[in-house]
Structure 1
Amino acid sequence: MNTFSSWLGQLLRYFRSLVAIGLLCLVLGSPLPAQATSVSPQLKEQVLQIIREHPEVVLESIQAYQLKQQQKLQQARQAFLQDLKNDPQGLISNSPTTGASDSKTILIEFSDFQCPYCAEAHKTLKQLMKKHHNDVKLVYKNFPLNSLHAEAIPAAKAAWAAHQQGKFWEYHDALFTHQDQLGEDLYLDVAKKLNLDLEKFEKDREIANTEIQQDIQLAEKLGLSGTPFFIMKSETVSGAVQLTDLEKLLARAK
């Protein structure tokens, strides 16, 4: 009996790992790894029989996987907040900033130029920075949701290229103002109106992806699923925020 229980326990643990792998691949839309597909037909049948007799192992596997992911996410967020406190410039890196350059109060925005909620938040941020320009530093981070917005990454590349010539915020404002016109014609038209060096603009667009991907990786590491998303100190807010929402964050951060 003990031998059987031990064998069953090992098989259940093996099955749980297969379920976790399968669920992850299902979510990511990836094929199963070789180690999960090279299982013998006999073992597969044994696993299926266990599922029939012990369906609770499926739920247990899902719960264990979710708990592990939540713990990993919490650790990543804690590390981010610690870095924001101890080394804000390292976290800001080359990202565009505006507002009080020496302010310890930092508002980080993750945004997508084609997201309608980001366009609404843009209007709110303009009001915030007009009223509190000397109180807060606004940092822009890219989180283009390219699976939903075809122009999100091209727009981000164009804005990054404008940033290399010191015109990010003007370019950023133009993209949100003309969000319904996002496309190559708009990118070039805005560049011309801002008197950018077009040759440099084109070259910089071609190499913009590296830094944009760094922003995306950070957003994914923090578990962000949508835009806009704002972080100030240890607090967060998302969606089409109101001015009062951001002012409350600012008041608590001081």
Structure 2
Amino acid sequence: MSFSMGTFFDSFSLLVQYVRTWVVISLLCLVITWSSSAQAASPIDSQLEQQVLQIIREHPEAIIESVQAYQQLQQQKLKQAQQGFLQDLKTNLQTVIGESPTTGSTKSKTVLVEFSDFQCPYCAEAHKTLNELLAKYPDKLRLVYKNLPLASIHAEALPSATAAWAAYQQGKFWEYYDALFTNQKQLGEALYLDIATKLNLDLGKFKRDLTLATPAITKDIQLAQKLGVAGTPFFVINSPTFSGVVQLPDIEKILTGAK
């Protein structure tokens, strides 16, 4: 990798702006803390507060510049994470897969990573399409599942992901996956146990594994956050013809163009 002086000065400038950002934020935090304090401020504290406020009044552009610099740094960090993920998808696939469930052809040159939520209605629709694609192109597609339960809006997103993980420990993830999406309107503890029973899972082990799922699901969520994934379903694909984020309707086009 080449490293020019221009790159150095750009990085140094960003570092200076980054430090400046936190200085401004720290000053604002101090002002808020002083302003909301229930205790009577000393004359010195009051004087310092006024000085800080005066600096902010005289240089409001510093706050804007600092926020912009911080956003730029965050965008660069996000871009680097996304590029690193795509590179791993091409050259170090097992790193991407980790301990996640996969289905389809292990020899396929096209790998699709799905971030999904079992209570998301759009994910349920995507599930139907993915099953059709896997059946239609059995030798051309490998699907990797990553959990992204949107717990803030879906009460059963995390419990259902936990149940699916427990089923995975007995080699029945994809059967459980199908059953959850098929019965999405009935998500709940009764359904989770019913599916486990119908799949002939060891219920004792299944219930124990429910308590062990958190680290794996958290790891998927952290990966999604690192990549800037905010909604579901979300797909990233790597194939001989295309690599990157892909919309569901375009997956078949990519498959038909893959060799």
Into which bin does the TM-score normalised by the smaller protein fall?
A: 0.7 to 0.9
TM-score normalised by L of structure 2: 0.80
Number of the residue aligned with 1:165: 170
Deviates more, 1:80-89 or 1:12-21: 12-21
Percent of aligned pairs with the same amino acid: 61
3-state secondary structure, aligned to 2:235 = strand
* Structure 1 residue 14: Cα displacement: 7.2
Distance 2:137 2:72 in 1: 40
1:155 to 151, 160, 171: 160
Instruction: Summarize the alignment of residues 76-155 of structure 1 with structure 2, pairs less than 5 Å apart.
Output: 76-155=81-160
**Preserved contact between residue 27 and residue 52 of structure 2 (Cα < 8 Å):** no
Distance 1:67 1:108 in 2: 27
Does 2:240 correspond to 1:235?
Answer: no
* Structure 1 residue 15: Cα displacement: 6.4
Q: Deviations for 1:123-176, whole angstroms, at most 9, x for unmatched residues?
A: 111111111121010000001111111111110010011111111111101111
**Preserved contact between residue 20 and residue 65 of structure 1 (Cα < 8 Å):** no
**Preserved contact between residue 167 and residue 194 of structure 1 (Cα < 8 Å):** yes
Does 2:65 correspond to 1:60?
Answer: yes
3-state secondary structure, aligned to 1:133 = coil
Q: Deviations for 1:175-213, whole angstroms, at most 9, x for unmatched residues?
A: 111111111000001111111110111111110111111
Cα RMSD over matched residues? 2.6
User: Partner letter of residue 145 of structure 1?
Assistant: L
Distance 2:46 2:200 in 1: 67
Q: 1:113 to 1:20 in 2, by over 3 A?
A: farther
**Preserved contact between residue 107 and residue 139 of structure 2 (Cα < 8 Å):** no
Does 2:210 correspond to 1:205?
Answer: yes
**Preserved contact between residue 166 and residue 213 of structure 2 (Cα < 8 Å):** yes
3-state secondary structure, aligned to 1:124 = helix
TM-score normalised by L of structure 1: 0.82
3-state secondary structure, aligned to 1:134 = coil
**Preserved contact between residue 232 and residue 249 of structure 1 (Cα < 8 Å):** no
Distance 1:48 1:142 in 2: 46
Deviates more, 1:14-23 or 1:113-122: 14-23
* Structure 1 residue 55: Cα displacement: 2.2
Does 2:76 correspond to 1:50?
Answer: no
- Unaligned 5+ segments in structure 1 are 1-11, 24-31
Instruction: Summarize the alignment of residues 241-252 of structure 1 with structure 2, pairs less than 5 Å apart.
Output: 241-242=248-249, 245-251=250-256
Q: How many residues align?
A: 230
**Preserved contact between residue 89 and residue 96 of structure 2 (Cα < 8 Å):** yes
Does 2:199 correspond to 1:190?
Answer: no
3-state secondary structure, aligned to 1:141 = strand
